[in-house]
Amino acid sequence: MLEHVERALLDGRPPRYVQLATAAAPEGPASLARWHALGAAAAERIGVEQVVVPVADRAGADDPANAALVGGAGLVYLSGGNPGYLASTLRSTLVWEAIVEAWRAGAALAGCSAGAMALSGSLPDIRRPHRPAVQGLALVPFVEVLPHFDRFASWMPDLVVRRVAGAPAGVQVIGLDEDTALVGGLPPAGGWQAEAAGAGNSWQVLGRQSAWLLTPSGRVEVRSGESVVLGPLPG
């Protein structure tokens, strides 16, 4: 994640950087260690405490001791790896309940690559885009995120068409270029489901490149520093 974004997310919040590298668990201990080292370096740069929540499987996600580590977070950060594994491992567990509780209490919640994908309503298989999307954690249920969009769009030019056509009804497909973040606010009163009849929420693009709103008629660029209102699309 971008350092200035991390600083902004922690501004005015407890200096407690809670990290889950769960998405990398299928890759083995070396991958988990690499993500934890990256998190430690990031926490040191911005002068906050790193707290690793060692969830590698469902048993770890339902461990009360791991759930307790989330408490007092200023930022909860979901690292990259396998988004489907991350979502299926955390869904309906004590650790996920603790994350949602911390977020609703005011903690920032961020995801890198697979972490960002897992927070959305549906998870596409980017490398095999002909496969249907699977269920995400649905904290932001009205979006589907395609990370590393500048790279994937050049490698697979039909990705946009396939994902827009395959997205669930009402879901906005968003491409995020590398070194770029899309930052929104806390959930509205009544939760995100209350947005169904509303105007949506404002999100800002931060970083080196752009975000892209993908539609059947093409793509709309949202440059760094610009904002976009996101909410459920008409069904």
Residue type at position 152: F
Give residues with Cβ within 8 angstroms of 222, minimum separation 6: 205, 210, 211, 212, 213, 228
- Secondary structure letter of residue 100 according to DSSP: H
Task: Look up tokens 């610009």; give the residue.
Answer: 226
Domain architecture of the chain: domains with CATH: 1-115 (3.40.50.880), 120-235 (no CATH)
pLDDT at residue 188, rounded to an integer: 44
pLDDT for the residue 140? 86
Residues with Cβ within 8 Å of residue 95, at least 6 apart in sequence: 20, 53, 55, 60, 61, 62, 63, 66, 67, 70
C-alpha 216/C-alpha 227 separation (Å) is 21
Taking only the tens place, the pLDDT of each residue in 159-177 is 666 666 566 777 888 889 9
Which residues, 6+ apart, have CB-to-CB distance to 10 below 8 Å? 17, 46, 48, 74, 75, 108
Residue pair 140/172 in contact by the 8 Å Cβ criterion: no
Half-sphere exposure of 151 (CA within 13 A, CB side): 9
* pLDDT in the model for residue 153: 67
Q: What is the pLDDT of residue 191?
A: 43
What pLDDT is recorded for position 165?
58
Below-70 pLDDT ranges, the chain: 1, 126-131, 153-167, 185-200, 232-235
Q: What whole-number distance in Å separates Cα of residue 24 and Cα of residue 39?
A: 13
